[in-house]
Chain A
Amino acid sequence: MIYDLIIIGTGVAGLSAGLYAGRYKMKTLLIGSPFGGETAKAGSIWNYPGARGVDGYDLMRIMEAQAKNVGVEIIEGKVTKTLAEGHCFKITVDGKEYVSKTLILTNGAERRRLGLPNETALANKGVHYCVTCDGPVYVGKVVAMVGGGDAAVKGVNLVSQYAKKVYLLVRGKELKAEPINQSEMEKLGDKVEILFETAVTEIIGTDKLEKVVLSRTHDGSNELVLDGLFVEIGVIPDREFSDSLKLGTDERGYIIVDKSMKTNVDGVFAAGDATDFFGSFKQIVTAAAMGAVAATSAYQDAKTHGELCQLHWLPAK
């Protein structure tokens, strides 16, 4: 069987694309793991229109149900191979091959790490990348958040509900968070201490995090004793599929798309955090919009060029 569309990624962009594709009556397969992308880990969401204070995980389950409701098949698994051949796209998941006339990549991006020695060894032993998940474990403890963007400030607001002291370590001279989230943080008073122009240069601990070394002194020392360190310093795009499909990317690895979310390869579209279409403004609302546009473009493409895949495709013997 040949699908009209395969979507890789089960975050907002992928599920939004699935909803639109299903409504276009496209035979659509959505592949991804883990479920829900970054939104599922976002906690309460207050900036997505029409869903006041919705929980990110619940929002993603609603989007999943909407996509399934219009006939989209969803499978959980890791894509191990992608191949473009005569306007056919062959996607291998756990040893099984699926074929499609069009492809939308919404595989997102990975959390950026500090890149310091000891960081991997102490992951989940004091060093964390999901504050909504692991922040609540640090009841009554001293923690630090690394980052100066919205995710870092939202993370501080969340972990402050549990920790007794939170340091926000900002490399630059100012914060780049939504003003409303900054206002929330300011209400926390002395519990939160912001150290600007401060980077973590070393992570120290054996079985668990003990302290970090800072790029500048604080209270007479460049060492900061911590129970937990949370890292929210943005994302780096996953290049796996863009490399294998020879997609055009920018210097940071984001897939280049035009206003219809089309890549440089016919029949391949991209949406969400895998692209840099809206620059650093990576929001649920922008990902959803990109997914909808990508599905609409894939629909037009499949109508125009879909028969090329059927002409070229030979089922595996």
Chain B
Amino acid sequence: MWFNNNGSVNNMATVKIYSTPWCTFCRMAKDFFKEHNVTYTEYDVSVDEKSRAEMLERSKQSGVPVIDIDGELVIGFDKSRVFTLLGIK
């Protein structure tokens, strides 16, 4: 990732979010990514069986969201950790 001239993050990280349709913190996380121009891939675990199994196996828990930033898992929308992993100041 790198910062462009206007100081906003220009994120080259691979970001995935495992989410469900009405999850507040999932939606807050997605709003946050949009606000900071972070490209992400969303996996709706209520309909995507493979992603659901992957999330449960990797995170060892069943709460959403689970966010994967370059392979690092963040359980819940832990904003300070997301900031750190994305290099957002």
- Which chain B residues (61-78) contact chain A, with CB distance < 8 Å? 61-64, 75
Counting chain A CB atoms within 10 Å of each CB, the highest count among B28, B61, B62, B75 belongs to B62
Q: Does B46 contact A137, Cβ atoms closer than 8 Å?
A: yes
Residues of B within 8 A of A135 (CB): 20
Q: Does A134 contact B22, Cβ atoms closer than 8 Å?
A: no
Selected from B24, B52, B62, the residue in CB contact (under 8 A) with A57 is B24
Could you tell me the dominant secondary structure of chain B's interface residues?
A: loop
Residues of B within 8 A of A207 (CB): 60
Q: Does A134 contact B20, Cβ atoms closer than 8 Å?
A: yes
Q: Does B21 contact A134, Cβ atoms closer than 8 Å?
A: no
B34 smallest CB distance to A (angstroms): 12
Q: Determine whether B45 belongs to the interface, using a CB cutoff of 8 Å to chain A.
A: yes
Q: Determine whether B15 belongs to the interface, using a CB cutoff of 8 Å to chain A.
A: no
**Bound CA span A137–B26, Å:** 13
Proximity string of chain A (280-317) to chain B, C-beta cutoff 8 Å, 1 when within and 0 when not: 00000000000000000000000000000000000000
Q: Does A137 contact B52, Cβ atoms closer than 8 Å?
A: yes
Q: Does A133 contact B23, Cβ atoms closer than 8 Å?
A: yes
Q: Determine whether A90 belongs to the interface, using a CB cutoff of 8 Å to chain B.
A: no
Comparing A124-132, A194-202, A212-220, A252-260, the segment that makes contact with chain B is: A124-132
Residues of B within 8 A of A43 (CB): 22
Counting chain B CB atoms within 10 Å of each CB, the highest count among A36, A133, A134, A208 belongs to A133
A131 smallest CB distance to B (angstroms): 9
Q: Determine whether B33 belongs to the interface, using a CB cutoff of 8 Å to chain A.
A: no
With both beta carbons as reference points, the residue of chain A lying nearest to B76 in the complex is identified as: A124
Would A139 and B46 be within 8 Å (CB), given that A134-B63, A207-B60 are in contact? yes
Q: Determine whether A86 belongs to the interface, using a CB cutoff of 8 Å to chain B.
A: no
With both beta carbons as reference points, the residue of chain A lying nearest to B77 in the complex is identified as: A34
**Bound CA span A207–B56, Å:** 12
The tally of residues in B whose CB lies under 8 Å from a CB in A reads: 20
A250 smallest CB distance to B (angstroms): 29
Q: Determine whether B25 belongs to the interface, using a CB cutoff of 8 Å to chain A.
A: yes
With both beta carbons as reference points, the residue of chain A lying nearest to B21 in the complex is identified as: A136
Q: Determine whether B49 belongs to the interface, using a CB cutoff of 8 Å to chain A.
A: yes
Q: Does A162 contact B46, Cβ atoms closer than 8 Å?
A: yes
Would A34 and B46 be within 8 Å (CB), given that A132-B23, A137-B20 are in contact? no
Q: Determine whether A110 belongs to the interface, using a CB cutoff of 8 Å to chain B.
A: no
A226 smallest CB distance to B (angstroms): 12
Q: Does A124 contact B61, Cβ atoms closer than 8 Å?
A: yes
Residues of B within 8 A of A162 (CB): 46
Q: Determine whether B16 belongs to the interface, using a CB cutoff of 8 Å to chain A.
A: no
Residues of A within 8 A of B49 (CB): 139
Residues of B within 8 A of A68 (CB): none
Q: Does A35 contact B28, Cβ atoms closer than 8 Å?
A: yes
A132 smallest CB distance to B (angstroms): 4
Q: Does B63 contact A128, Cβ atoms closer than 8 Å?
A: yes
Would A136 and B45 be within 8 Å (CB), given that A125-B61, A128-B62 are in contact? yes
With both beta carbons as reference points, the residue of chain A lying nearest to B62 in the complex is identified as: A137
B30 smallest CB distance to A (angstroms): 11
Q: Does A133 contact B61, Cβ atoms closer than 8 Å?
A: no
Residues of A within 8 A of B52 (CB): 137, 139
User: Can you give 11 contacting A-B residue pairs, CB < 8 Å?
Assistant: A34-B25, A43-B22, A56-B24, A124-B63, A124-B75, A133-B20, A134-B20, A136-B21, A136-B22, A137-B45, A137-B63
Q: A35-B24, A57-B24 are in contact. List 10 more A-B contacts (CB 8 A).
A: A40-B24, A56-B24, A126-B62, A130-B23, A134-B62, A136-B20, A136-B21, A137-B46, A138-B62, A207-B60
Interface residues in chain B, defined as those with a beta carbon under 8 Å from any beta carbon in chain A: 20-28, 45-46, 49, 52, 56, 60-64, 75
| Closest A-B pairs by Cβ, 8 of them | A136-B46, A124-B63, A133-B23, A136-B20, A132-B22, A40-B24, A124-B61, A43-B22
